[in-house]
Amino acid sequence: MWKPGIILLLLLSFTVVVRAQIADVYPPISIASESIRVAEVLDQITRQTGVKFTYNPRSIDPEQQIAFTVNRASLETTLRTLSEAIPIRYQLIKDQIVLTPDEREPELLTLSGFIEDQNSGESLIGATASIPGTSRGTVTNAFGYYALPLERGERRLNYSYIGYQQKEMDLTLRNDQRQNIALQPRALDLPSVIVELPKLGMLDKRDLGKVAMDPARLNNMPEFGGESGLVKGLQSLPGIKMHSDGSAFFYTRGGERDQNLIIVDDAPIYNPSHLFGFYSIIIPDFAKSIEVYKSDFPANLGDRLSSIINIRTRDGNLNKLEFSGALNPLINRFALEAPIVKQRSSIFVSWRRSNFEWLYQRAAPNADLGFGDFSLKWNHKLNPNNRLYLTAITSLDNFTNSASGTNAGIRWGNLAATLRWNHIFNPRLFANTTLYTGNYAYRLFQEPNYWQSALGTLSLKTDFTKYNSPRVTSRFGLELQAYFIDPGSASVDSSIAILPEIRPNYSRKTVAYYQGEFELSERVQLSAGARLISWANSGPATYYEFGEDYAVTDTIRAAEEIYNRYVNLDPRLSLRYRIDSSAQVKLSVGRYHQYLQLISNATSPFNSFEVWLPASPNIRPQAAWQFALNYSKYLRPSQLEFSAALYYKKLDNQIDYQPHATTLLNPLVEGELRFGSMEAYGLELMLEKKLGRLSGWLAYTYSRSLRKTPDLNGGRIYPAFQDRPHDLSLLLNYQLAPRALFSFYYTAYSGSTFSSPTGFYTYNDQTVPVYAEKNNDRLPAYRRMDIAFKFRLNKDETRRFRHYLTFSIYNASAHKNIVAVNFNKFSREEGRPLVKSDLLSEVPLSPSQIDLIRFFPSLTYQFKL
């Protein structure tokens, strides 16, 4: 008798023979497409072989777009290739191939490593590692590390990054494998003019709530004084509005300016401006990547309500020494990067200083006007699993005069430093531990008297990334922070005045967070996380309790212990749906809190008399719910990318001020504050072109920002200062010739709101204004056009020494952009109208306007060797 085992063995052998014979009798199959529907693949196989397919369209999506390529392949090879592109099983039954979903959990191994620049050894952030023909892939993290869980066996891998040559390689996975990759930069005539889009299969890996700014593109933008910078570059993005010319203040999606956080290698920068905002302390040459989050903030970053600007700095060249610089009549900048130990350790330093002396030295020889900054980055590879980084940034602005024999003026400066340790526990667990500090100080003085304010933080943070599976990635960690705040202290001669004592504030914050990325299907991805924050105020401190009329009802003196605490859980959730290989949509909702607030009752960009205050018994943390709907579509024929975003924010515990509030040297400053709510909503549209001689983008934003503070404006809704309904920006880069680049930037937006008097009356021979509504008027609309022409001086682009000449004009149309409106009394002196704001006579009041820059050309020489 035949035993069952023998019968089964013979049947299996027979099946193999039959399949082999069937595969041989069918004609070879050829299909080649970067984007094709599964149904179309099956139709082509049927047309070329006559074989028909049977499957359930609810289990196997026939509309799914895949990349599929076979060349004169057998039927068996073609079906195996299809099963690698989509998870299916196939079986031949009576001249029909039955397709069923493959629901087996395969044994997974991990391919991991770092992707770097081949020339410099610089790690590449956001580079992709993917399997051609599928949507399976991953992107490198902030340190160039990737981990891709894969099944055992032979695989073809594709590695790519914008501006670099792609690399494909075949490998056989038998165990977890470390594969470091070096990509060769493409030879470009001018940086970031012609770049390459990611493959369509990887478009769904991008985060729609994040905007990535290329630092090289900032270098191509026309800029004030020939120096590009971060803050001015932000204004070209939809949803971000600048305060005015000569200001580093910016507003994101209707929020206040203190609701934006700029971090450099995790260290915060509290005042990013030089020269009252005309220049930025962040220079593109020092930045490797700039990520702008306007919604759906990652759980490991916070705590702000409007935006987080995450900047990662360059590591420094690991292979060779490079020296670069820029010279123009107003500012000089130099940078040096070099290996300390080749392939293992490097350093990057940059130094910048203003050069204004020739402008004022003859007229004001005792003046000292200028600024400078210094940046340093050191990185060292201890071994394949451990790496150290050190970042330090310091800046100083000085505007003083000693003409009267006493030095007087203003100074402010920033210090930010980070010490970081990367450790790979195993291919799927990556850890990043950071010790960082951020400090800002401002001083107004007439020696020996001064007024000063300061803010400092010291933090320790450990962040883990766990690559659980091809469909699940987890990020979690813990952060401890300590804050010191001097809200504005002063020292003056006692014969002049006796000033109140204002004690510094001490606070601490503990944060635990988790965020998971879940690929629910080929089309649907879910991101869910939460941030648990414990905020505590600690003594010694003196604080006050206020009654309904904002008068002090009690004075409380706290010892060296925690006297106030807030605990909040901030959840965030987003759902992304891939419509096809070129389009996707994302819905996100998040809860956010903010525990530091900037107190200033002036809207002038030149008024630095402002202080930071922590959340306290009288100042509850600012809070916001934000909802955002993002859509992205790549228009392949025209090589354009279109994106749109709808957002709505409900903000609570928003700070405003009573009329004529005293915010300086006031120990009862919390009694000057008024709290209310704010609503912000808007639509953002952007059309971008990245390929070809002409590149750039067009962005438009419609937005509103409306406040309601019960104790102000009669409890009625009023527009916020940053309420500017319309905002348009256009940036174009055109490569005129291999060595010449023309750049054009145009922006226009609605004017800022301000409170305009509705009438005047005379009291004791003085004219007193009457105000009916808060922020009832607007400044004229803002318009500005900037142009720049960049020319490479050396003909041979392959030479190590390259130098450029850039001519730019800021506000080339000389449009008069108003930053303030005053109501003054005018008189005539020798036939000329003069402003005499201190006149007490019955001279009529007339409005006067202030604008800053109408036409500003510059010429800059840049070099690199």
Is 104 or 760 the better-scoring residue by pLDDT?
Answer: 760
Distance of CA 783 to the CA centre of its chain: 25
Q: Please provide the distance, in angstroms rounded to a whole number, between the alpha carbons at the two ends of the chain.
A: 86
Distance CA 474, CA 464 (A): 8
Instruction: Render pLDDT for 322-370 as a digit per residue (tens, 0 to 9).
Output: 999 999 988 899 999 999 999 899 999 999 999 888 888 888 888 888 9
Higher pLDDT, 850 or 826: 850
Closest CA to 531 of 507, 509, 511: 511
Per-residue pLDDT tens over the stretch 247-267: 778 899 999 999 999 999 999
At 283-325, the pLDDT tens digits run 778 888 889 999 999 999 989 999 999 999 999 999 999 999 9
User: How would you label 313-338 residue by residue, b for 16+ Cβ within 10 Å and e otherwise?
Assistant: bbbbbbbeebebbbebebbbbbbbbb
**Mean pLDDT within 450-458:** 91
Among 6-20, 30-44, 157-171, 704-718, which range has the highest average pLDDT? 704-718
* Domains defined for the chain, CATH in brackets: 4-101 (3.55.50.30), 108-205 (2.60.40.1120), 267-864 (2.40.170.20)
Three-class SS of 479-539: EEEEEEEEEEEEECCCCCCCCCCCCCEEEEEEEEEEEEEEECCCCEEEEEEEEEEEEEEEC
- Rounded CA-CA distance 155/134 in Å is 12
Q: For the chain, give the mean pLDDT.
A: 85
What would the two tokens of residue 75 be? 């039927």
User: Residue 651, Cβ neighbours under 10 Å: how many?
Assistant: 25
- Enumerate the β-bridge partners of residue 148: 111
- pLDDT confidence of residue 146: 94
Residue 534 pairs in a beta bridge with 510, 567
Please state, for a pLDDT cut of 70, what percent of the chain lies above it.
Answer: 89
Q: What is the pLDDT of residues 694-710, one digit of tens each?
A: 988 999 999 999 999 99
- Could you report the per-residue pLDDT of 151-162, keeping only the tens digit for each? 877 788 999 988
Tell me how crowded residue 310 is: count the other CB atoms within 10 A of its CB.
21
- Structure confidence at residue 106 (pLDDT): 66
Check whether 434 has a pLDDT greater than 80.
yes
Residue type, 696: G
Question: 675-692: per-residue pLDDT in tens?
Answer: 999 999 999 999 998 878
Determine the angle formed by the axes of helices 38-49 and 75-85, rounding to 10 degrees: 180
What pLDDT sits at residue 275?
Answer: 79
Half-sphere exposure (Cβ direction) of 523: Cα atoms closer than 13 Å: 15
| pLDDT attached to residue 2 | 46
- Angle, CA 810 vertex, CA 808 and CA 813 arms, to 5°: 110
pLDDT confidence bin for 61, thresholds 50/70/90:
confident
Q: Does 216 or 709 have the greater pLDDT score?
A: 709
